[in-house]
Amino acid sequence: MKSVLLGMSGGVDSSVSAILLQEQGYKVYGVTMKLYGGDDEREEACCGLSATSDAKRVCDKLGIPHYTINFEKEFKEQVINKFIDEYQNCRTPNPCIDCNRYLKFGAMYELAKKLGIDYIATGHYAKVEYSEKYQKYVLKKSNSVKKDQTYVLYNIPSDLVEHIVFPLADFESKDEIRRIAKEHGLNVASKPDSQEICFITDNDYVNFLEKHNIQGMKHGKIVDTKGKILGKHQGLHRYTIGQRRGMGISSSTPLYVVKLNKENNQLIVGQEEELYTDTVYVEDTNCILFEKFEEGLEVDAKIRYSAPAKPAIIHVNEDNTLTVKFKEKVRAVTPGQAIAFYIDDILVGGGKIK
């Protein structure tokens, strides 16, 4: 019997994953990673106070061994500190991507190896299949277009793909998942999804950053793309590319944040058409499908989780960064955010937008 170590957040997705893995004949072991603690820890967060108890109750009901592992130190180093550092450098990070690479897949896989367990699994909506075309296991979009999470998985190590199981790959809707949980009498069947960043305890990232006294919080000038002063901003950490409201300036036409100028501490605003570009520069890349990115590779590229993937061509630079040319212009390209590349429904890899 093949064994699998399942990451369990105490939510309905990972709980139903345990049921499905059992039905598929795996010997299942559950693990909950304690990632973020403290007096202000949020109850409903995926790594909050209720996660361990909810996950343990599910495991007890299903007869599954359950482990709780403390990864607070690693989480602070690899996720929280990077999150703060990105904002200090006027970039907008996606901490879930770092957490997936270093904790939910990297550290969990190392733990599985130590325990002699064959596979790791999570409740992500994604799919692993063997591809005859590429002669290897590949990471593919899930059947649920709206729930697909491959965008936040582009950065996992490529050699892990064949060791991962995604039990929810073939489900079309969350209603099906909740129905299975109810049929098995799981208390988490109606538990709401966690939408926010788990370590932002009050859902207020600005408050979190200001508590950590990040640099770049000083007030400065709001200027248009021609250098005309329009007002004062409240600290560049409060703004992101494409933002329209909350700047405290008036104009005869709508103005949007088009750039954060750290060097001059300026918030640069412009017309909506100034948000569009056909060129995106990418660093910190990770290629899953191939050994490396090839010059001229044609892909569909996705610049944010909720954005549709659009046709683009990858150009490889001498320093191994990428220049991505879109066939049509894309809106509000944001430094620090991820870009993910696909061929059909297969995830090729991705990187961070410069």
List the CATH number of the domain containing 32. Answer: 3.40.50.620
- Do 298 and 331 reside in the same domain of the chain? yes
Residue 108 confidence (pLDDT) above 60? yes
Task: Determine which one of 47, 90, 99, 287 is catalytic.
Answer: 99
Query: Residue holding tokens 């799981």?
Result: 186
User: Structural domain of residue 111, as residue ranges?
Assistant: 3-123+167-190
User: CA geometry: angle at 191 spanning 189 and 194, to 5°?
Assistant: 135
What Rg value do the Cα atoms of the chain yield, rounded? 22
Query: Residue holding tokens 């939510």?
Result: 11
Write down the pLDDT at residue 12. 95
Is residue 138, in this structure, part of any structural domain at all? Answer: no
* CATH number for the domain that contains residue 264: 2.30.30.280
- Comparing 157-171, 202-216, 233-247, 278-292, the range with the smallest average pLDDT is 202-216
Kindly state the percentage of the chain with pLDDT values over 90. 84
User: What distances in angstroms separate CA 26 from CA 3, 126, 170, 177, one per listed residue?
Assistant: 5, 19, 18, 19
Write down the pLDDT at residue 250. 87
Mean pLDDT of 111-117: 96
Q: Which of 255, 270, 285 is the last residue of a domain?
A: 270
Is residue 128, in this structure, part of any structural domain at all? Answer: no
Write down the pLDDT at residue 216. 60
The 8-class DSSP code of residue 193 comes to P
Contact between 35 and 194 (Cβ < 8 Å):
no
Catalytic, 99? Answer yes
Is residue 204, in this structure, part of any structural domain at all? Answer: no
Residue 125 confidence (pLDDT) above 80? yes
- Do 177 and 55 reside in the same domain of the chain? yes
User: What distances in angstroms separate CA 215 from CA 26, 38, 64, 96, 334, one per listed residue?
Assistant: 49, 24, 47, 23, 20
pTM: 0.94
Contact between 214 and 83 (Cβ < 8 Å):
no
Is residue 131, in this structure, part of any structural domain at all? Answer: no
Residue 39 confidence (pLDDT) above 50? no
Write down the pLDDT at residue 215. 67
Mean pLDDT of 34-42: 63
Residue 209 confidence (pLDDT) above 50? yes
Average predicted confidence (pLDDT) for the chain: 93
Contact between 202 and 25 (Cβ < 8 Å):
no
Phi/psi of residue 47, each to 5°? -120, 25
Is residue 147, in this structure, part of any structural domain at all? Answer: no
- Do 39 and 71 reside in the same domain of the chain? yes
Beta strands 322-331; 276-287: pairing state: antiparallel
Count of domains for the chain: 3
